[in-house]
Copies of this chain bind each other. A is one copy, B any other.
Amino acid sequence: MAIPREAMSPDPVSWADWSAERQRRIEDVLARVLPAAELEPEHLSRAMRYAVLDGGKRMRPLLAYASAELTGADPDAVDAPAAAVELIHAYSLIHDDLPCMDDDTLRRGKPTCHVAFGEAMALLAGDALQALAFSVLAEDVHEDHGSEACALLADAAGMRGMAGGQAIDLVSVGVALPVTKLETMHRMKTGALIRAAVRLGAGRGRALEPAEARALDRYADAAGLAFQVVDDVLDVEGSAASLGKTAGKDVAQGKPTFVSCLGLAAAKARAEALRIEAKNALAPFGAAGRRLAELADWIVLRVH
């Protein structure tokens, strides 16, 4: 694959180097927008930093930066939306891990936030991270249309998106969902924020034609669903050491997954089909879609 890709694009930077650079970049941005560790109230500042920094694949920020490559946006202009989507994601993990939700003790290779800081402080850290995401986006000096970005993020995070998907997840424990219902749940629970990351990143560059915007949404939809299918496969095949979180917990909790719905082999085939679908959706963009195509590969071929 290396030769055709390089023929398409003059950028000699490999995916490994490009993604590592963007991961370092978002780490710096997040460290800067989070409250300093010693800022009062100190417990809250520390809990927020603990839950966000030093961990995570940063898939959503990478999606934002990769989409920005597609529309020729300056990475500087993408820092705020990339950070905002990661802050929303991080808050959702804190709340998801609470005893009243998944009751999990391990996340990103560390004790979960409530194990480290107590339930009440973890709850508040999640709440404050959601507010911070909107602060970062609304105060972004690179964007004249900050309210549109806030509206997009709020929709993705709220009841029509992430929170709604989690609510469906919650009432689906022990229920044999048809795969279409499972897909709807994941389109809300993780897909909506992934689509927001892609749209917000792309939105910082040249305006897209309506057909291009639809193609990009198709990419986000396929990549987001692929991410979830792979997650379900890894939950069965992976170990806590490689995942950095408790393995096998979906099965243990009786949650419907793509593996429980389709079987392991068919789930793997579905992930592969979604990877192709995501990359095919990028056809209209030619070489400019390179990073997003590489990201689709990375999402599906990852081992944690």
What residues on B are CB-neighbors of A101 within 8 Å?
120, 123
A159 & B132 in contact (Cβ 8 Å cutoff): yes
What residues on B are CB-neighbors of A161 within 8 Å?
131
What residues on B are CB-neighbors of A134 within 8 Å?
134, 150-151, 153-154
B35 & A159 in contact (Cβ 8 Å cutoff): yes
What residues on B are CB-neighbors of A148 within 8 Å?
138
B166 & A124 in contact (Cβ 8 Å cutoff): yes
What residues on B are CB-neighbors of A100 within 8 Å?
98-100, 118-120, 123
Complex formed: what's the CA distance from A101 to B100 in Å?
13
Contacts A41-B168, A163-B124, A167-B44: A132 and B158 contacting too (C-beta < 8 A)? yes
Interface string of A37-55 (1 = CB under 8 A from B): 0011101110010000000
> Whose C-beta in chain B lies nearest to the C-beta of A164?
B41
A243 located at the interface, meaning its Cβ lies under 8 Å from any Cβ of chain B in the complex = no
> Whose C-beta in chain B lies nearest to the C-beta of A130?
B130
Among A45, A127, A160, A164, the most chain B Cβ lie within 10 Å of the Cβ of: A127
A73 located at the interface, meaning its Cβ lies under 8 Å from any Cβ of chain B in the complex = no
B167 & A41 in contact (Cβ 8 Å cutoff): yes
Majority secondary structure of chain A interface residues (helix, strand, loop or mixed): helix
> Whose C-beta in chain B lies nearest to the C-beta of A34?
B159
> Whose C-beta in chain B lies nearest to the C-beta of A150?
B138
What residues on B are CB-neighbors of A167 within 8 Å?
41, 43-44, 121, 124, 128
What residues on B are CB-neighbors of A137 within 8 Å?
147, 150
A95 & B147 in contact (Cβ 8 Å cutoff): no
Q: How far is the CB of A295 from chain B (nearest CB, A)?
A: 26
Which of B121, B135, B160, B164 is the one whose CB lies under 8 Å from A151?
A: B135
Complex formed: what's the CA distance from A151 to B132 in Å?
9
Complex formed: what's the CA distance from A157 to B143 in Å?
22
> Whose C-beta in chain B lies nearest to the C-beta of A131?
B158
22 pairs, CB–CB < 8 Å, chain A vs chain B: A35-B159, A41-B159, A41-B171, A43-B167, A43-B171, A44-B159, A44-B163, A91-B127, A95-B127, A100-B120, A124-B163, A124-B166, A128-B163, A128-B167, A131-B154, A131-B155, A131-B161, A137-B147, A137-B150, A138-B148, A146-B150, A147-B150
**Chain A positions near chain B (C-beta within 8 angstroms):** 35, 39-41, 43-45, 48, 91-92, 95, 98-101, 118-121, 123-124, 126-128, 130-132, 134-135, 137-139, 143, 145-151, 153-155, 157-161, 163-164, 166-168, 170-171
